[in-house]
Chain A
Amino acid sequence: MSLLEISDLHAGYGQMNILKGVNLSLEAGEIGVIVGPNGAGKSTTLKAIFGMLNITGGSIRFDGADITGIRSEQLADHRIAFVPQEHNVFPTLTVHENLEMGAYVRRDDFSAVMDHVYDIFPPLKDKRNQPAGELSGGQRQMVAFGRALMIEPKLILLDEPTAGLSPMFMSQIFDRVIAINRTGVTVAMVEQNAKQALAIAHKGFVLAGGLNSYTDTGQNLLNNPEVAASFLGG
């Protein structure tokens, strides 16, 4: 059975549906990438998982449990972590405190995970006592990733992790996503940079108008001339 199974999801703000039947399934250990034009419902799909939207139909199942319409506070208990596109750190808290907050729901000793995060993101170790708001955009992104990893998530949701970063940083971010995925974390990612993102994806979902247009492996989508013509800019 799939780790994440979204079927025929209808959701939106108030009575207005933005998602009109999204289907998405991810096996444990996969990277899934959601691409599509602006307003297609990419970020909305992530927000729907997080209980930030009004779900009017369909279901979301995670790891055998129905999590449709769950409240955002409860996601950490299911070991689902979310990295928002912006405002993804606590600016006045130090880097170390940001990571501690990531582990807020944990009652056990999480020092090993903390060390692991500092190993993946060495620059954070030097800046551990600095407020996260004083870091550069790239370093804040590391703090956000690190914070998400603190619960040792089964699934990590990334909302446009490369938005606003320079192309040089972009490949670094994708490398990091692959590195996180190799440790056994399933990744669901929304991306504007569709080509690079699909290249690292096990599965790709092309959304348009709140519906799946294409669902296939990342490589097949990249090779599909129709997808390339309509969504990848030729």
Chain B
Amino acid sequence: MNEIVFFINKGLVSGLIIGSIYALGAIGVTLIFGILRFAHFAHGDMMTLGAFVTLILSAALAALGVTLPVPLAFVAMFPAMVITAFIAIGLDRTFYKPLRQAGARPVVLVMASVGVTLMLQGLIRLFAGVRSRDMFIDAPKEIFRLPFPGASRPVIITEPQVLLIGFVIVAVIVLHWFLTRSRLGKAMRAVSDNPELARITGINTNHVVWATWIIGGALACAAGTMLSMDVTLKPDLSFNILLPIFAATIVGGIGQPYGAIAGGFLVGFCETLAVFNWSILLRPIKDQLWFEVPTSMALVPTEYKLMVPFLILIIVLIFRPTGIFKGRVLA
């Protein structure tokens, strides 16, 4: 039974956590692609930036002597999401909008976003240094140990992980409601479907672009904060998960928010299960097996974890180029 607990802890919980982070990031990337028609490479650094905003706000709360039943960082995350959303709109106005208005091709915008990536990374290092920081300013991380029937070891889940899962569920419900029920959400889908017709119909493209950056920026901040609460906050934290996020976006179908969520979890679970040491699950039945169970039986060594999203990506692009949910085909 302990083996199953180990599988839950190292396989399912880890997959769920990293999948949630990927999903939050991929929603933003896919919406930006759907509306603005370019791959936003600076999304990872928008996540890091959002996490730093949260850190500053929670430090301010701690300095004011605020104590709350949940981690300060989680509470500070909500105003930080608003601030990051505004920063995202500001970045768009300063760097992307002038290019769009000049009629630049999508690849030019992609290059511009690579430039924004470098700029953000530089700025974050300039003001915050390179060391890693703990998001838990007021109190250490709370860890829940849930007893599992028939096992001596407990299922371990930390407080930020519980908050993350709860947040993702709420975010997905709110996003679904927004896209299918609200006037602006439907207009976003309309612009994503057919921008020219949307303009003719009188849909205000500016509002739609703002909504896109607000959702993308806010969710990026949440993903960055939650990721740094789960591990630690480093300047290059989110940049490293940019590639799995793009893989999740493409696997789910470019421009499809529900696809991004599905893709996020798919990539997250594939990654963790590929590096999971399966020999542990075989150990209890090793006497019945015809072969000797090796000590390590992971499909992929941990160092090559980043290879997994690429493998999924290649398989999807060969067999279903539009992604799981029918999205755009990369031209």
Contact for B187 among A71, A77, A82, A101, CB less than 8 A: A101
Q: Which residues of B contact A92 (CB under 8 A)?
A: 189, 192-193
- With A93-B186, A97-B186 in contact, do A104 and B193 touch (Cβ < 8 Å)? no
CA distance A74 to B196 in the complex (A): 13
Query: In the complex, are the beta carbons of B200 and A87 less than 8 A apart?
Result: no
Contact for A101 among B192, B196, B201, B205, CB less than 8 A: B201
Contact count band on B? 10 to 19
Query: In the complex, are the beta carbons of A90 and B194 less than 8 A apart?
Result: yes
CA distance A88 to B200 in the complex (A): 10
Tell me the chain B residues, 176-207 only, with Cβ under 8 Å from chain A: 183, 186-187, 189-190, 192-194, 196-205
By secondary structure, the B interface counts as helix
CA distance A87 to B46 in the complex (A): 35
Query: In the complex, are the beta carbons of B190 and A73 less than 8 A apart?
Result: no
- With A90-B190, A100-B186 in contact, do A105 and B197 touch (Cβ < 8 Å)? no
Query: In the complex, are the beta carbons of A102 and B193 less than 8 A apart?
Result: no
- With A73-B205, A97-B186, A100-B186 in contact, do A50 and B200 touch (Cβ < 8 Å)? yes
Q: Which residues of A contact B194 (CB under 8 A)?
A: 87, 89-91
Query: In the complex, are the beta carbons of B200 and A101 less than 8 A apart?
Result: no
CA distance A73 to B206 in the complex (A): 11
CA distance A75 to B204 in the complex (A): 12
CA distance A28 to B183 in the complex (A): 32
Query: In the complex, are the beta carbons of B196 and A87 less than 8 A apart?
Result: yes
Q: Which residue of B lies closest to A73 (CB)?
A: B199
Query: In the complex, are the beta carbons of B193 and A93 less than 8 A apart?
Result: yes
Query: In the complex, are the beta carbons of A76 and B197 less than 8 A apart?
Result: no
Q: Does A72 contact B (CB under 8 A)?
A: yes
- Minimum CB–CB distance from B31 to chain A (whole Å) comes to 14
Q: Which residues of B contact A97 (CB under 8 A)?
A: 186, 189-190
Query: In the complex, are the beta carbons of B186 and A101 less than 8 A apart?
Result: yes
- With A87-B197, A88-B197 in contact, do A73 and B189 touch (Cβ < 8 Å)? no
Q: Which residues of A contact B187 (CB under 8 A)?
A: 101, 104
Q: Which residues of A contact B203 (CB under 8 A)?
A: 73, 101, 104
- Minimum CB–CB distance from A76 to chain B (whole Å) comes to 3
Query: In the complex, are the beta carbons of A82 and B193 less than 8 A apart?
Result: no
Contact for A151 among B189, B190, B198, B202, CB less than 8 A: B202
Query: In the complex, are the beta carbons of A90 and B202 less than 8 A apart?
Result: no
Contact for B201 among A71, A91, A147, CB less than 8 A: A147
CA distance A93 to B199 in the complex (A): 16
Q: Which residues of A contact B183 (CB under 8 A)?
A: 100, 104
CA distance A132 to B312 in the complex (A): 32
- With A97-B186, A101-B186 in contact, do A72 and B200 touch (Cβ < 8 Å)? yes
Q: Which residues of A contact B205 (CB under 8 A)?
A: 73
CA distance A22 to B194 in the complex (A): 30
Q: Which residues of B contact A29 (CB under 8 A)?
A: none
- Minimum CB–CB distance from A70 to chain B (whole Å) comes to 12
Query: In the complex, are the beta carbons of A104 and B202 less than 8 A apart?
Result: yes
- Minimum CB–CB distance from A154 to chain B (whole Å) comes to 14
CA distance A92 to B109 in the complex (A): 26
Query: In the complex, are the beta carbons of B186 and A82 less than 8 A apart?
Result: no
Q: Which residues of B contact A100 (CB under 8 A)?
A: 183, 186
- Minimum CB–CB distance from B249 to chain A (whole Å) comes to 17
- Minimum CB–CB distance from B203 to chain A (whole Å) comes to 5
Query: In the complex, are the beta carbons of B189 and A93 less than 8 A apart?
Result: yes
Q: Which residue of A lies closest to B203 (CB)?
A: A104
Q: Which residues of A contact B193 (CB under 8 A)?
A: 90-93
Tell me the chain B residues, 152-189 only, with Cβ under 8 Å from chain A: 183, 186-187, 189
Query: In the complex, are the beta carbons of B202 and A105 less than 8 A apart?
Result: yes
- Minimum CB–CB distance from B201 to chain A (whole Å) comes to 6
Residue among B197, B199, B203 with max Cβ neighbours from chain A (10 Å): B197
Which B residues are within 8 Å of any A CB, using their own CB?
183, 186-187, 189-190, 192-194, 196-205
12 contacts between A and B (CB under 8 A): A71-B199, A73-B199, A73-B204, A84-B197, A87-B196, A87-B197, A89-B194, A92-B192, A93-B190, A104-B203, A105-B202, A147-B201
Known: A84-B200, A101-B187, A104-B202. 10 other contacts (CB 8 A): A50-B200, A72-B199, A77-B202, A87-B194, A87-B196, A90-B193, A91-B193, A91-B194, A93-B186, A104-B183
